Structure 1
Amino acid sequence: MEAKLYNQSGEEVGVIQISDYVFGIEPNVPVMHQAMERQRANARLGTHNTLGRGEVEGSTRKLYRQKGTGRARQGSIRAPHRKGGGIAHGPHPRSYTKDMPRKMRRLAVRSALSARHRDGAILFLDRLTFEQPRTKDMIAVLNALNLTGKTLIVLDRKDEHVRRSANNLPNVKTLLAHYLNVIDLLTHDHVVMLKAAVDVAQGYLDKPAHAVAADVSEEGA
């Protein structure tokens, strides 16, 4: 599959070959949803905590005798129904981590990439270089590419000049290709992928070589 390739001045400079297996599949919506729920769950800290009746401060003596007062019987000032008492069945520290097979995780990312490419939301850039970190330079690139709204810039490697140039822009986020995920791909209006970042992404998302060889042999047969 071919896609248009642009430079950071907004000019079309050629085409780029992209994998149908990564950018051209039918999106699997249930798997994308599962991956998104997993990512959100794994982001939860789970540090919430409440104190039970055995952990709050207070005397352990019985408030008054059991019978003969005309009032309801009471056993402890630390009971959950009393002000300042413990919390019954409250939350305690726990892990919300969910697991998901690697093949499903990668299918979810490929589905998200295919969906965004189908919608025309992915723009391929030959390279993005700045001599120094400058927010003004990043704004100039976005204007040249006619990008408005939330923009995700996918890099092949760490680049402090690019990262710091985008850092002060609330609607711009940089991400390494190794960390592509469903939430970032679906919640940004535009995805800008460097040519080198496409190679990195296809390196671990594309169909394995032995699977490609098997498909070729089946076609030949």
Structure 2
Amino acid sequence: MKITEFLKNKKGASGIGTLIVFIAMVLVAAVAASVLINTSGFLQQKAATTGKESTEQVASGLQVLQIMGSHDNSNITKLAIYVSPNAGSSAIDLSQAVVSLTNGDVKTVCKYDSTKATFKDLEAGGSIFSDSNLNFTALSPTEFGIIVIQDADSSVADATPVINKGDIVAIALHTNATSMEPRTLISGSIQPEFGAPGIISFTTPSTYISTQSVVQLQ
């Protein structure tokens, strides 16, 4: 009789131990599942954000439509670089853009300064290189001006020159710090805050004709 009771009590103790192990496994699995769910949610959000930023970086950017220059019979003194956003590009704030130019000897880096008179709206037409519109000679070697050519939604303003789909502006430069004599190879870029840069690459004419002060360079 005593042996039978002993065996019954032993089975009960074994069952309780198994139950404790089972509960512990369930708790561990619950904690692990919670960690995995939180981690997967974080990774999903991170992947979505990274994907959006990557798409924006790849799709966005500037394209250089053409480059016009004005000379003084011996040197290009004024540049107007026509730019527009790439197809599918997000809006681009030109106040955060950086323009770089080099002739092989000197490299000039320019930024936009909204505190100066470096902005002009020519949507109604006018002369690009007329100082009555935008005073090129007032531009320092380290800054560029903005001339609005086309802006249907009025997104390009003096303090916030933001270009989006369909907008065309001219980046104005006074090239007094970069020699652009005849047959000079000029290269550079217009690097926006994000996205692909607009590429600048041209060779100045072999000679400057006094009766033709404005020339197309690119």
Q: TM-score range by the shorter chain?
A: under 0.3
TM-score normalised by L of structure 2: 0.21
TM-score normalised by L of structure 1: 0.21
Between Structure 1 and Structure 2, which shows a larger proportion of strand residues?
Answer: 2
